[in-house]
Structure formats: C-alpha cells, structure tokens
Amino acid sequence: EVQLQASGGGLVQDGGTLRLSCTTSGFTFDEYTITWFRQAPGKEREGVSGISNYDQKTYYKDFVKGRFTISSDNAKKTVYLQMSSLKPEDTAVYYCAAGWLLDYTGDVYYKSAYDYWGQGTQVTVSS
C-alpha cells in the first residue's frame, strides 16, 4: 500500500522557520519524484518545490527560491522542506505527492502527473 504523510506544519510568526517532512512507504522511493504543493482556502493548488530521487535534481518556484530548501533521505524514504523567512502569504495546507517522471518532459508541477498524494499539513504564518 502506497502511503505518503506530510507533517511538521504549525503556527509561526512572520519571518519564522518550519521544517516539513514527507514520510513514505509502499513504493520504490528512489524511482520517483516527490513534489510539495500548497493550497490556500479558495485558491488553486500550486506547486512549491520538488526533488527527483533518481538523479537528485531539485526544483523551486520563484516565490520560494532563497527561502525554502528541499532535500531527500533515501535511507529513511523521507523528503524534507526547510522553510525560512516565512511570510503570511505562505499560509496554506502543504501536500507532498509522488510521481513517475523518469522520462517526463512536461511541467514538473502538473498535478495530474502525480499518482500518489498524502494528507496535507497546515502552515499558518501570523502577520
């Protein structure tokens, strides 16, 4: 059974730091791309950052570059998202997703490219 679980969210002040974790099981971790998405109430779910575990390539949306860092621990089958300099606009539910993108040439943040999704973790940044 494929499982992904996002955790580490919480309430933090403007400029604060959080580290999210995506723990996985039930699939070949190092053959997949793991990507973080987020969704604020009433808004479309959007991509944030991703990592392909087979070549360790990383991907960042412009609005998080220099603030967020994604990393992967293949031994623990876990992906982390280190978030610093958080802003109120970062407030959202954050989801991790896994997709088979070995020979994929499309948009890394295309949601339909991902087969497995975890339950989200809430991140709230106070102003």
Residues 20-45 have pLDDT tens digits of 999 999 999 999 999 999 999 999 99
Residues 71-92 have pLDDT tens digits of 999 999 999 999 999 999 999 9
Give the strand pairing for 121-126 and 10-13.
parallel
- Within 13 Å and on the Cβ side, how many CA atoms surround 93? 14
